[in-house]
Amino acid sequence: MQTRTIRLTSGADLDGFRAAIRHLVPAGVPPEAVTWVEGDAASLFAEDAPAEPGSALVLPRAVAELVPPVVMHRDPERYGLLHRLIWRVARGERHLAEVASDPLVHRLTLMRKAVARDLHKMHAFLRFRRSGAGEGGRERFAAWFEPEHHILAEAAPFFAARFPSFDWSILTPDGSAHWDGRALHVGPPGRREDVPEHDAFEAGWTDYYSSTFNPARTNLAAMRAEMPKKYWHNMPETAAIPGLVREAGRRVGEMIARAPEAPVKRVPARALAAMAAQEPASLEALNAVIRASEPLVPGATQAVLGEGPLGAAIALVGEQPGDQEDLQGRPFVGPAGQLLARALREAGIDRSQAYLTNAVKHFKFEVRGKRRIHQKPTAGEVAHYRWWLDRELAFVAPRLVVALGATAVLALTGRQVPITRARGPAAFEGKPYPGFVTVHPSYLLRLPDEARGEAYAGFVEDLRRAATLAADPASRVGMAG
């Protein structure tokens, strides 16, 4: 049997593998007749010319989803193993990928899991360090990481979405990824010495890590399993771990000896007093406090601040940022925000002249599969952010505040009021501005199609009425706050 040699580029050459397999399988070339070679690796056989893509193979979904992660694995046999799988599937074993006991499927499944773990580790353990100024004076950062598999191209978009506001480079022994604020660029391998050893931010990050370390739950085996020591030299907080472990016993004893007390988070008066002591003198100073504040729930990428001019005729207050708002750092840019923008236009309100913000400044969510699903903030969480909202609106000094939904009403009044009863002009007791209550645009998105048109028209009419009230103080009709 004549042996064919297929040469692919080094790393994860998914396009090259697909082109080759579309040529080999329809042509009846079995796996044992193919030698797969990467990059400059030597071959004992004469090489075939690069394969022209053949007709598309129709593969079961389980097989199609298995191929990309396995191609990222560093095992040199990965292409041959995938060829064997696709060969058998194309010859009648259509459900082979679902047979977990099959030795080939078992091995490929382990490879896929190893790649998924490697991606998780890179997302969790990569640390950027400031490395000077980027294009247009933007801050520039660099990071060094040594992945086990060829995952850089797959992992880089995660960091572009998470850190879109500064330029950065990720250097690895296999290649590099660079973000300039607009697009990702892939480059050649990097060097560890091209990334700064330290930066000024690390001391604060290490202090934060130390403050969150719970000595009563110290479990070295679990720590090493989740955060293997091979990653430690790139993570500034790990320098504190030996000392934290040594001190764990003493700190636990002190915790037991102390009289129990309610945490600050559960004593709103104490938390508010701590915030009030900062007394920011401007909206910029207030926003700096919010940016530096730890999110009430873990996971949020950043605080999403209000947007719009001071002295705006109308301020619109929503519930909290969503997934897209959290990633972009701007309010009302997701699906609900796009619906709001459309309604504002139809109501004759220039969004750029309105002030948009949220009652809660951080995204609260739960993870379902690959999606982050919004979770409604509790009354206690709304109260936690009320100090910021009150001062924010005091600096903006709008002529009218529109509460979008029940959470916004709770934040502005301290009371839970059904929107159906409160909808329309409102007097928010103790506030220096009149108000208006309407639904949140996300409510409209949840309605069935047959009900959405009428509800949307009512929402636009509410915004139109609010614009009239903001423009003509004499037309305002108050109601009990």
- Where does the pLDDT of residue 65 fall: very low under 50, low under 70, confident under 90, or very high at 90 and above? very high
What pLDDT digit, counting tens, does each position of 430-473 carry? Answer: 888 999 999 999 999 999 988 999 999 999 999 999 999 998 75
**Region 213-240 average pLDDT:** 62
Q: Identify the three-state secondary structure at position 152.
A: helix
Is the pLDDT at 8 greater than 70? The verdict is yes
pLDDT of the residue at 37 = 94
Half-sphere exposure (Cβ direction) of 79: Cα atoms closer than 13 Å: 25
Q: Identify the three-state secondary structure at position 307.
A: strand
The whole-model pTM stands at 0.49
**Crossing angle, helix 61-72 and helix 78-90, to 10 degrees?**
170
- Where does the pLDDT of residue 244 fall: very low under 50, low under 70, confident under 90, or very high at 90 and above? low
CA dist 48 and 382 (Å) reads 66
Q: Identify the three-state secondary structure at position 284.
A: helix
Which has more pLDDT, 224 or 100?
Answer: 100
Mean predicted lDDT score pLDDT of the chain: 83
What pLDDT digit, counting tens, does each position of 331-386 carry? Answer: 999 999 999 999 999 999 999 999 999 999 999 988 888 788 888 998 988 988 99
Residues 296/362, Cβ–Cβ less than 8 Å: yes
What pLDDT digit, counting tens, does each position of 12-64 carry? Answer: 999 999 999 999 999 999 999 999 999 864 443 344 544 455 556 789 999 99
What pLDDT digit, counting tens, does each position of 398-438 carry? Answer: 999 999 999 999 999 988 888 988 899 998 888 889 999 99
Across 136-227, the runs of DSSP E, i.e. the strands, are: 139-144, 167-171, 176-179, 184-187
* Domains detected in the chain: 4-121 (no CATH), 126-194 (no CATH), 201-257 (no CATH), 268-475 (3.40.470.10)
Which has more pLDDT, 297 or 314?
Answer: 314
pLDDT of the residue at 3 = 83
What pLDDT digit, counting tens, does each position of 88-111 carry? Answer: 999 999 999 999 999 999 999 999
CA distance to 170, 237, 240, per residue, from 249 (Å): 38, 20, 16
pLDDT of the residue at 81 = 97
What pLDDT digit, counting tens, does each position of 172-199 carry? Answer: 999 999 998 889 999 999 999 888 876 6
Per DSSP, what are the bridge partners of residue 435? Answer: 401, 426
φ, ψ of residue 359 to 5 degrees: the values are: -65, -40
Number of H helices, E strands in the chain: 17, 14
